[in-house]
Amino acid sequence: MLKIALSKGRIFEDTLPLLAQAGIEAVDNPKTSRKLILDTNQDDIKLVVIRASDVPTYVEYGAADIGVAGKDVLMEYDNDDLYEPLDLKIAQCKMMVAGFKDADIPNHRRLRIATKYVNITQRYFAEQGRQVEIIKLYGSMELAPIVNLADLIVDLVETGNTLKANGLVPLEHIADISSRLVVNKAAMKMQHEKIKDLLNHLGKAVAAK
């Protein structure tokens, strides 16, 4: 049995066509079904539907053999106990530092950065030798500078519309983000042929887009 972990939303929408090109189709309708394990047209392949940020955990522990996760989630998880053999080039966006255009940056205290990406933010500013105080939020980061909770935010930017709607601008580029296929290390050994075959098909589907 091969279990593939996916999150609902944009990753699911963009991964399904790639899987279809590899001959794998969900039998249950993923949009309407409340099942967390979806059957596919192949008896030995199931789709496991979980939170985006839980995908690396499931795959690392072998609860899923394969997963699809945003590079943001993988950078934040920061663990090399996973193989990351394929860039699916879906759900693309950028990890950015953002804030007010002409914000006057305080010099009597450390910069305050609001983000849900604490590890990425920590590493980014540490590499530059900039002392910051990181404020962990779980969503709506764009609000933080407006209500004076933080000077800057670190978040994903796709069109830039969310920043713009809140009077913010992208200031510094941290990383280009897309979704990656991740594979459990033991599964890669134990189910090598099956996984290699899937990787081949998906690689071709990505290249054909």
The residues of the shown chain that bind ligand PRT, judged by CB under 6 A, are 7, 9-11, 51-53, 70, 72-73, 91, 93, 155-162, 177, 179
Does residue 103 contact residue 145 with C-beta atoms inside 8 Å? yes
48: tokens are 């496991």
19: amino acid identity, one letter: L
**Do the strands 45-49 and 152-157 form a parallel or antiparallel pair, or are they unpaired?**
unpaired
Residue 77 or residue 191: which is nearer to ligand PRT going by CB?
A: 77
Q: Where are the alpha helices (DSSP H) in 65-130?
A: 71-77, 118-127
Residue 148 or residue 161: which is nearer to ligand PRT going by CB?
A: 161
Shortest Cβ contact with ligand PRT: which residue?
70
Q: Shortest approach of ligand PRT to residue 99 CB, angstroms? A: 15
196: tokens are 């290699």
Q: Shortest approach of ligand PRT to residue 178 CB, angstroms? A: 7
Residue 49 pairs in a beta bridge with 6
Q: Shortest approach of ligand PRT to residue 46 CB, angstroms? A: 20
Q: Shortest approach of ligand PRT to residue 144 CB, angstroms? A: 12
